[in-house]
Amino acid sequence: MRDTTGVVAPDAAVKREPTPIGALFEAAFRRYGSAVVGYTLWSIAVGVVPGVVAIAFRNSGNVLFAFVAASTFSHLFLCAILTALVTGTTRTHLWPAAAVSLLGAVITGLVFYFAGPFALALYPVLVFGPIATASGDVSAVRALPFGVRVALRDWGRAYGVLLGLGLIAVFLWFAFFLSFAPLGGESHQIATLVFTMLVFSPIAALVERNLYGDTTGRKVLPPTVSLDQRERGKKRRRA
């Protein structure tokens, strides 16, 4: 699936006001809804990694640590894939982006091992590295420091997006928790977790891709999305 909207070349000559967070989310939901099958297939493809890791470490005491690290890699790599589909760099920049994603996963896993859920605070400063590499903005060696600078340069929106994504994750978890309640036992818990991740991961990747593009001066909103908060969610009228 080739996504033809999203991160495009920056226009350095034009200074724009930052795009409202709500518009970034709306654009992500519209893109996800327009190609839900394709995004779900990509989510399943990268979701194989944490599944295999969880099975491999199921009898060890480090299964949770390994699963968190693998899930982080899976998501960061999905962010890179969805960016490369826009920029047309899947053949040239995807594997370097995978290496950056792996490094981000190792960092997250180590922080989670010592600090538990506080590792989530690293997400905004790690997610832009794979996106920057996949878009061809920087090399893999410079990706993480560059991503940290981009995130901290607009830290208010970076962590505002993290809060919004957290609310979406909670909503999806409860929705699937209720939907799969008849299964009961471990099947209920596994189904809830799997389907939450399959839906949440591409949505989060699209939102972060939009935020990175907007922060670095790119046009990220399709014509159907308005910058006016009063029109949020409404279809734009044709002239």
- pLDDT of the residue at 87: 86
- pLDDT of the residue at 230: 52
Specify the range with the lowest mean pLDDT, choosing from 4-8, 33-37, 90-94, 108-112: 4-8
pLDDT at 14 over 70: no
- pLDDT of the residue at 172: 96
CA distances from 53 to 62, 75, 106, 237 (A): 11, 14, 14, 48
- pLDDT of the residue at 171: 97
Q: How far apart are CA 118 and CA 112, in angstroms?
A: 7
Q: How far apart are CA 62 and CA 64, in angstroms?
A: 6
pLDDT band at 224 (very low <50, low <70, confident <90, very high): confident
pLDDT band at 12 (very low <50, low <70, confident <90, very high): very low
What stretches of the chain show up as alpha helix (H) in DSSP?
21-34, 36-56, 63-87, 94-115, 123-126, 128-135, 140-153, 155-179, 185-215
Q: What are the boundaries of each domain within the chain?
A: 29-219
- Average pLDDT for 97-105: 96
- pLDDT of the residue at 3: 60
pLDDT band at 137 (very low <50, low <70, confident <90, very high): very high
Q: How far apart are CA 61 and CA 84, in angstroms?
A: 36
- pLDDT of the residue at 186: 80
Q: How far apart are CA 76 and CA 131, in angstroms?
A: 8
- pLDDT of the residue at 124: 95
pLDDT at 159 over 50: yes
Mean pLDDT score across all residues of the chain: 87
Q: What is the pLDDT of residues 181-219, one digit of tens each?
A: 999 888 888 889 999 999 999 999 999 999 999 999 887
pLDDT band at 80 (very low <50, low <70, confident <90, very high): very high
- pLDDT of the residue at 6: 53
- Average pLDDT for 33-38: 93
**Which has more pLDDT, 41 or 9?**
41
